Structure 1
Amino acid sequence: MIAFLSWYLLITLLGWLTFPLVYRLFPALADRGYTLSRAAGLLIWGYIFWLFTSLGLTQNTIGGIIFALLILAGLSLSPFFFQDSRIENRKSEIINWLKSNLRLILTAEVLFLVAFAFLAFLRAGNPELDGTERPMELMLINAILRSPTFPPHDSWLSGYAISYYYFGYVLTALLAKLTGLTGSLAQNLMTSLIFALAALGAYGILYNLLAILESGIGNRKSENQLPAPGSRTIFSALLAPLFLLLVSNLGGFLEVLHTKGIFWPSDLQPSAFNFWKWLDIKELSDAPVQPYQWMPNRYLWWWRASRVISDFDLMRRAQEVIDEFPFFSFLLGDLHPHVLAIPFNLLSVALALNLFLGGFRGETNLFGLRLKISKAGFLASALTLGGLAFLNMWDILPGAAMVMGAYILLRVHEEGWSWKRLEDVFALGLPLGFSAVLLYLPFYFGFSSQAGGILPNLINPTRGAQLWVMFAPFFVPLLAYLAYLIFAEKRTGNWSLSLLLVIGLTLLLWGFSWLIGWLAFLREPAFAQSYLAQQGVADVAELFRAAMSRRFASIGGLLTLLALLVPALAFLIVDHRPQTIDDKESTVSRQPSTNVLHPSSFILLLSLLGSLLVMAPEFVFLRDQFGWRMYTIFKGYYQAWLLWSLAAAFGTAV
């Protein structure tokens, strides 16, 4: 209990310490970054501590940690120590905001405490760290706790530094060292803290989106206060942490049905259609144990929810695919990088939302380039995206795509669609990517990766039924929301161009996968013959026929993704001239004007990027030690879950 309270008080004080900084950073958000202040503070604090220790300016000691915290305090609070009328106005502005948003503050604080306590209680019931990757994670935390400098020593490979994205474990060790906890206790507490930070971050993003609808302000050009949203927005925003952290795929529900024998053919009708054989999920396709009951009793039955996608080679040999999701991760208790990165992925979404709403308007001169983004916005984006790579290398591309997508939508609002938008992508994307790497450069000196390029996925399309088992809780509200935009709001969309682009992208990915395969076969004839023999086919022509037969037989998954991609893109590429949301229209009928900066455009962007993340491993995957798409699906689906959960929560709320 004392350990829990010490972390709760420390991270809460950190949030309040960072709030003046994020208040200035997020002028376009209704909560002014309040719900993100803890995550932002932890990121900045950890970055300063890691950088100074890596450069030898400080040691990995409590003194170094406190020194980094003092720098953060200076960044956040120093403007208030100067006598200036603008500073006095800012002080009174923050005080007025706090008074006007007491309900938001109270709700956010209760949510954080309840979420933190809930998962801490759950982990206290099963605190062992002796399964899956937990021993490795404990080693990383202990190695960082004991290393005098960074990069930390590898406890399992004497004489070498850790070659891994270890930033999340630096944050864990930082909190543990300051509060005097052991690595094992800190590991379970950090799992609980990440859960709470994710709940608060998701809540804040949906709150800010719904607040725009309620206020009727679609384009923040100044830092004037948004009116405090009402109870509907405050409580509807709770849907976001629900969808992100507590909603599961249908694996558990199917386990219950299977254990009860529902849909399993009776002994009197052995030739009847077998739903479970058709679904073809391992263990669920086996006959349920009699007598039937409601409660699943198979050993580790809940584990199957993280393996509902089934891949087989052409000889029907199983190829394991991981499709983990947040609630499974927190129930399992692994503190893996993809879990540690969740709150900071949400921070990148919030940065993108602030950029989308015009909160980073300004100019930055960098390397002779004039970037149409404020200096604070550019630095915050680079720091966050670079941090994502250090936390979980896979996350930097979705995070960067989110920020760049928001930037393009803002530029479209200002100038419309043209080829110049492609120039905007490179004009901001290249300096931003370079800066994100430069800020964390010491990390890359000692980092090596198992990833070895891109390989084609020729024979394993995802079946529609299994994709729905994985994402049905999001597909239903997302498709319903798209239908609402089409039929209820009569939203204008460039359907022909969208259909052309989506089909073109699909064919391009399909052709690219076969091109990679053909080049690999051409370069390595021995490998080609071995691969064909393993698949039980005589030549490439037979492989092509078998692969295409599978792809058409399992077309449901691709069609589902197209049903999400085409409407989302059709609405986004309509070239509307700048308008603001009409107050009366927004507050009374909640019908948006044709404004690209309406929050629905941001939701469509989330849906679009999530669909692309799921679509990519239908055709290609990153080469690793496993040799098939297991890990690419794992990482891509996890990111898609995060984006789709926010979009589905918004679609449900409105």
Structure 2
Amino acid sequence: MSDTAAFIYWYGAMILMSIIGLPLAQYLFHDWRDKGYIFARYIGLFLVAMPLWLLSSLHIVQFNQLSVIIFVVAGVSVAGYLIGKRKIKLTRGMIAQELMFFIFFAVWCVIRSYNSDIFGTEKMMNLAFMNSINLTEYMPPADPWYTGGTINYYYLGHYMYVFIAKLLGISTGLVYNLALTSIIAQFTVSVYAIIRRLTVKRESFIADNAALLGAVWISFGGNLHYPYKFIESVFSGEVFKYFFPDPTRIIPFAIDEFPAYSIVLGDVHGHYISLPFFVLGLALLIASSRVAFDDARKLKLTAIISVFIISMYGVNSWDIITMLFLFTAMHAVQAYQTGRHWKKLASDFVRLQLALVVPGLLLMLPYIFNFTPAVGGVGLVQFDQRSPIVPWVQMWGFFIIGSLAYASFVVLRKRERSQLGLLAAVVVVILAMFAVESANAEALKGNAMWLIGWSIVRITAMAGFAVLLWNRFADKKTLFVAPLFAVAAFCLIEGVEIFFFKDIFYTSNPDYFRTNTVFKFYYHAWVLWGIAVSWFFFRILTAVKGRPRLLSAVALTGFILFCMSTSYIFKAVNDFYPVNANIPIERTLDGTAWITTDHPADDALIDWMNANIEGQPVILEAVGEAYTYAARISTHTGFRTVMGWPTHEWQWRGEARLAFDRADDVRVMYTTQSATELHQLLDQYGVEYIVIGQEEYTKYQDINLPLLQSQFEPLYSQSGTMLLKVR
């Protein structure tokens, strides 16, 4: 299928999902100006994909193209009936959001076509998951890199996109990049819709632009590190050298990524796949916040929301922690707003919390029973291991500026001199500590007393701002959500300075013990705090709109900061995509096309195997390091191999021995001098085909080719690449 046809079919499927989800979206977001139109897309996908996943998990219905078509036709039929019955009509807001989605989707498809290769970082892992799911009839899908096991990782997001692939009959090489680009489009427009809802105003130039600029900033903006380093180079007179991953590794021994980096890098990984689902969860929280705590509809609404929230556990398990925290906090604030005695509220609160968890938990039981988290508890971060001032401020600088601006605005309007003095003191202390650490970075590195002092200042500032927001909005039944997002972001950011989850990084490389914890919760905080800051900016603008000069000054300042942040995306795109290169480029959205040029022999074998071998057999191929070309046949076919990337299997299964023992066995099977030993190991793993190509010759230079050829017939042989049939 051509790129153009795939693009059109995929976009058509997106429209189809929106139609399926529109009736429920209108019910959930009935008081939104746009009726939650943009969220209908993923609601619709959820409504047709998840029931099939459940029935497949229970071995009632096979996951294949016919079942997918039946579920989609049923979904469209029911939606069409409800749309007609309720007389749902398109509005200008809906059309505008669809146009925004199309523009972002199309632009990123064009950009991605300059470097669509599914290679490097986690890309091959994600493609392997997609191809395995594509061959799966009954869930859970087989682990393509660990024969005999199922995928012990979050795979539901990958499943959703394979569901669309089966519907359309599009190859996973194309689906990978179409999913990548549609995710950022959906995320950006969803954030726009959320900010626009929080601004409340029905028709407002300020509200529309605050929402649009806020969404673009959150999706495509970088942190303060990039402009900081540029300014630093100007003053030092040095040549400005910068690579787009630089701002994502500034917190020592951690990962501090953000959406703009993810879309450019192109890993369709759990944290990125979950972005549209995460913001759907935020939208559902806003919808729930509009229904009073003691309203009879609250319990029913919460039960419906539950299936969307708890299912996030299978898309990116970290999301569910933040979501449950947010909903619990929202319920607590609403309970406080009723003014009733806490004893009378307790039973209602418990019922709501059960409604939030139980329905979704029942849906997810098949996933939970087949998933073993590779986490060994929670640990405490020592003071000398916490984030230094300079990288922390570089990470959150734009958010800090926005929050301080709003705090200053509130204090100045109240004319509270004492609070203004306290605010000024906090700013001065932070700037002074930043300057001291900048000048003495090595001397203060890991200094516990210095980091304790910084923690006290940071917590004091966050707590003070949280109190300011509480005093101003705790009693406002329709205005507390954005402040809640800000406070939740503070809790996440500060929480990773105190606690961490004990995962593979903790056991395999102790210096990086909190890498994953910082990574996943910073990602959430970026979205939450970004939405809150956009709302703060809107509040300031609307308050000064009657004073043209002040309005212009505030708007100009905000726009300058916006440009400083979003300049990162242009640098990142220029680094990763040769859009300005004066060389001929074969542009394509097929992420597997590069193999035809770089590895033609492997490409021919993969095509032959996909065309001639049915089912999901076990193959033997070379084992290799993570993020390399290793496990290339299982990745591009979805067939099971004895071992793919050992470190990843260690991460997923929690035991290094399980992975590395298999890697040793693979070496033995390729190099042994004993036919008995060879057959014993092949039988142990149920190997049906043996791959012998350039990767095997390179990895196992003592490969016993005569023995292998004497024992098994060559099913395929071309350009020095062979496929031997074992059974």
- When residues 575 and 170 of structure 1 are mapped into structure 2, their CA distance, relative to the original with a 3 A threshold, is closer
Report the Cα distance in structure 1 between the residues aligned to 2:43 and 2:385, rounded to whole angstroms.
40
- When residues 480 and 624 of structure 1 are mapped into structure 2, their CA distance, relative to the original with a 3 A threshold, is same
Q: Residue deviations 1:77-123, cap 9 Å, x none?
A: 44467xxxxx5xx42xx33xx4xx41x22321221011111221222
Out of 175, 181, 188, the position equivalent to 2:170 is 181
1:636 and 2:486 matched: no
**Given that residues 129 and 143 in structure 2 are in contact (C-alpha distance below 8 angstroms), is that contact kept between their aligned partners in structure 1?**
yes
1:249 and 2:223 matched: yes
What is the aligned partner in structure 2 of residue 602 from structure 1? 481
What's the CA shift for 1:127?
0.9
What is the aligned partner in structure 2 of residue 485 from structure 1? 410
- The more displaced of 55-64 and 612-621 is 55-64
What's the CA shift for 1:549?
5.2
- The more displaced of 59-68 and 479-488 is 479-488
What is the aligned partner in structure 2 of residue 234 from structure 1? 208
What is the aligned partner in structure 2 of residue 305 from structure 1? 247
Could you tell me which amino acid in structure 1 is paired with residue 222 of structure 2?
Answer: S
Taking only aligned residues, the RMSD between alpha carbons, in angstroms, comes to 2.8
1:552 and 2:526 matched: no
What is the aligned partner in structure 1 of residue 587 from structure 2? none
Report the Cα distance in structure 1 between the residues aligned to 2:342 and 2:408, rounded to whole angstroms.
28
- When residues 630 and 361 of structure 1 are mapped into structure 2, their CA distance, relative to the original with a 3 A threshold, is same
**Given that residues 385 and 446 in structure 2 are in contact (C-alpha distance below 8 angstroms), is that contact kept between their aligned partners in structure 1?**
no
Report the Cα distance in structure 1 between the residues aligned to 2:293 and 2:75, rounded to whole angstroms.
21
What's the CA shift for 1:606?
0.2
What is the aligned partner in structure 2 of residue 206 from structure 1? 195
- When residues 416 and 653 of structure 1 are mapped into structure 2, their CA distance, relative to the original with a 3 A threshold, is farther
What's the CA shift for 1:391?
0.5
Report the Cα distance in structure 2 between the residues aligned to 1:603 and 1:41, rounded to whole angstroms.
27
1:466 and 2:361 matched: no
- When residues 564 and 553 of structure 1 are mapped into structure 2, their CA distance, relative to the original with a 3 A threshold, is closer
SS at match of 1:58: coil
Out of 436, 460, 466, the position equivalent to 1:562 is 460
Report the Cα distance in structure 1 between the residues aligned to 2:463 and 2:360, rounded to whole angstroms.
29
- When residues 487 and 340 of structure 1 are mapped into structure 2, their CA distance, relative to the original with a 3 A threshold, is same
What is the aligned partner in structure 1 of residue 100 from structure 2? 111
Report the Cα distance in structure 2 between the residues aligned to 1:27 and 1:261, rounded to whole angstroms.
52
Could you tell me which amino acid in structure 2 is paired with residue 438 of structure 1?
Answer: L
**Given that residues 277 and 312 in structure 2 are in contact (C-alpha distance below 8 angstroms), is that contact kept between their aligned partners in structure 1?**
yes
SS at match of 1:621: strand
Q: Residues 14-33 of structure 1 correspond to what in structure 2 (within 5 A)?
A: 14-33=17-36
**Given that residues 356 and 409 in structure 1 are in contact (C-alpha distance below 8 angstroms), is that contact kept between their aligned partners in structure 2?**
no
Report the Cα distance in structure 1 between the residues aligned to 2:109 and 2:385, rounded to whole angstroms.
40
Q: Residue deviations 1:6-44, cap 9 Å, x none?
A: 111210232133212211122232322112111222222
- When residues 397 and 424 of structure 1 are mapped into structure 2, their CA distance, relative to the original with a 3 A threshold, is farther
**Given that residues 16 and 76 in structure 2 are in contact (C-alpha distance below 8 angstroms), is that contact kept between their aligned partners in structure 1?**
no
What is the aligned partner in structure 2 of residue 190 from structure 1? 179
Report the Cα distance in structure 2 between the residues aligned to 1:384 and 1:477, rounded to whole angstroms.
31
What's the CA shift for 1:554?
5.8
Report the Cα distance in structure 2 between the residues aligned to 1:555 and 1:188, rounded to whole angstroms.
46
Report the Cα distance in structure 2 between the residues aligned to 1:133 and 1:384, rounded to whole angstroms.
26
SS at match of 2:496: helix
**Given that residues 31 and 208 in structure 1 are in contact (C-alpha distance below 8 angstroms), is that contact kept between their aligned partners in structure 2?**
no
Q: Residue deviations 1:148-181, cap 9 Å, x none?
A: 2211111111122111110010011111122222
- When residues 569 and 73 of structure 1 are mapped into structure 2, their CA distance, relative to the original with a 3 A threshold, is farther
What's the CA shift for 1:406?
2.4
Q: Residue deviations 1:274-306, cap 9 Å, x none?
A: xxxxxxxxxxxxxxxxxx434x2x6xx222211
Out of 488, 502, 508, the position equivalent to 1:623 is 502
**Given that residues 191 and 531 in structure 2 are in contact (C-alpha distance below 8 angstroms), is that contact kept between their aligned partners in structure 1?**
yes
SS at match of 1:262: helix
Report the Cα distance in structure 2 between the residues aligned to 1:468 and 1:423, rounded to whole angstroms.
43
Q: For structure 2, which runs of at least 5 residues remain unmatched after alignment?
A: 421-443, 507-512, 540-727
- When residues 77 and 566 of structure 1 are mapped into structure 2, their CA distance, relative to the original with a 3 A threshold, is farther
- When residues 349 and 490 of structure 1 are mapped into structure 2, their CA distance, relative to the original with a 3 A threshold, is farther
Could you tell me which amino acid in structure 2 is paired with residue 32 of structure 1?
Answer: K
- When residues 575 and 143 of structure 1 are mapped into structure 2, their CA distance, relative to the original with a 3 A threshold, is closer
Could you tell me which amino acid in structure 1 is paired with residue 268 of structure 2?
Answer: L
Q: Residue deviations 1:27-71, cap 9 Å, x none?
A: 232322112111222222221221122122321112211222244
What is the aligned partner in structure 2 of residue 165 from structure 1? 154
Aligned length in residues: 505
1:426 and 2:415 matched: no
1:445 and 2:369 matched: yes
Q: Residues 296-375 of structure 1 correspond to what in structure 2 (within 5 A)?
A: 296=241, 301-310=243-252, 320-358=253-291, 362-363=295-296, 373-375=298-300
Could you tell me which amino acid in structure 2 is paired with residue 408 of structure 1?
Answer: A
What's the CA shift for 1:468?
1.2
SS at match of 2:158: helix
Q: Residue deviations 1:349-406, cap 9 Å, x none?
A: 111111111289743xxxxxxxx7242x123321111121110001101111222222
**Given that residues 19 and 79 in structure 2 are in contact (C-alpha distance below 8 angstroms), is that contact kept between their aligned partners in structure 1?**
no
What is the aligned partner in structure 1 of residue 130 from structure 2? 141
What is the aligned partner in structure 2 of residue 49 from structure 1? 52
**Given that residues 375 and 502 in structure 2 are in contact (C-alpha distance below 8 angstroms), is that contact kept between their aligned partners in structure 1?**
yes
Identity %: 25
Could you tell me which amino acid in structure 1 is paired with residue 279 of structure 2?
Answer: L
Could you tell me which amino acid in structure 1 is paired with residue 532 of structure 2?
Answer: A
- When residues 180 and 37 of structure 1 are mapped into structure 2, their CA distance, relative to the original with a 3 A threshold, is same
- The more displaced of 398-407 and 136-145 is 398-407
SS at match of 2:379: strand
**Given that residues 192 and 211 in structure 2 are in contact (C-alpha distance below 8 angstroms), is that contact kept between their aligned partners in structure 1?**
yes
Q: Residues 217-232 of structure 1 correspond to what in structure 2 (within 5 A)?
A: 228-232=202-206
Report the Cα distance in structure 1 between the residues aligned to 2:294 and 2:187, rounded to whole angstroms.
27
Report the Cα distance in structure 2 between the residues aligned to 1:464 and 1:245, rounded to whole angstroms.
25
**Given that residues 465 and 557 in structure 1 are in contact (C-alpha distance below 8 angstroms), is that contact kept between their aligned partners in structure 2?**
no
SS at match of 1:373: helix
- When residues 558 and 634 of structure 1 are mapped into structure 2, their CA distance, relative to the original with a 3 A threshold, is farther
The TM-score, its normalising length taken from structure 1, stands at: 0.72
**Given that residues 452 and 623 in structure 1 are in contact (C-alpha distance below 8 angstroms), is that contact kept between their aligned partners in structure 2?**
yes
What's the CA shift for 1:443?
0.5
Report the Cα distance in structure 2 between the residues aligned to 1:245 and 1:24, rounded to whole angstroms.
28
Q: Residue deviations 1:244-274, cap 9 Å, x none?
A: 111101232244345x46347xxxxxxxxxx
- When residues 127 and 486 of structure 1 are mapped into structure 2, their CA distance, relative to the original with a 3 A threshold, is same
Report the Cα distance in structure 2 between the residues aligned to 1:490 and 1:414, rounded to whole angstroms.
30
- When residues 572 and 485 of structure 1 are mapped into structure 2, their CA distance, relative to the original with a 3 A threshold, is same
Could you tell me which amino acid in structure 1 is paired with residue 490 of structure 2?
Answer: S
Report the Cα distance in structure 1 between the residues aligned to 2:354 and 2:445, rounded to whole angstroms.
38
- The more displaced of 340-349 and 10-19 is 10-19
**Given that residues 464 and 555 in structure 1 are in contact (C-alpha distance below 8 angstroms), is that contact kept between their aligned partners in structure 2?**
no
- When residues 551 and 137 of structure 1 are mapped into structure 2, their CA distance, relative to the original with a 3 A threshold, is farther
**Given that residues 463 and 557 in structure 1 are in contact (C-alpha distance below 8 angstroms), is that contact kept between their aligned partners in structure 2?**
no
What is the aligned partner in structure 1 of residue 535 from structure 2? 650
Could you tell me which amino acid in structure 1 is paired with residue 184 of structure 2?
Answer: F
1:59 and 2:59 matched: no
Report the Cα distance in structure 2 between the residues aligned to 1:417 and 1:197, rounded to whole angstroms.
42
**Given that residues 239 and 653 in structure 1 are in contact (C-alpha distance below 8 angstroms), is that contact kept between their aligned partners in structure 2?**
no
**Given that residues 194 and 340 in structure 1 are in contact (C-alpha distance below 8 angstroms), is that contact kept between their aligned partners in structure 2?**
yes
**Given that residues 137 and 335 in structure 1 are in contact (C-alpha distance below 8 angstroms), is that contact kept between their aligned partners in structure 2?**
yes
Q: Residue deviations 1:598-627, cap 9 Å, x none?
A: 42x111100010010011111111001111
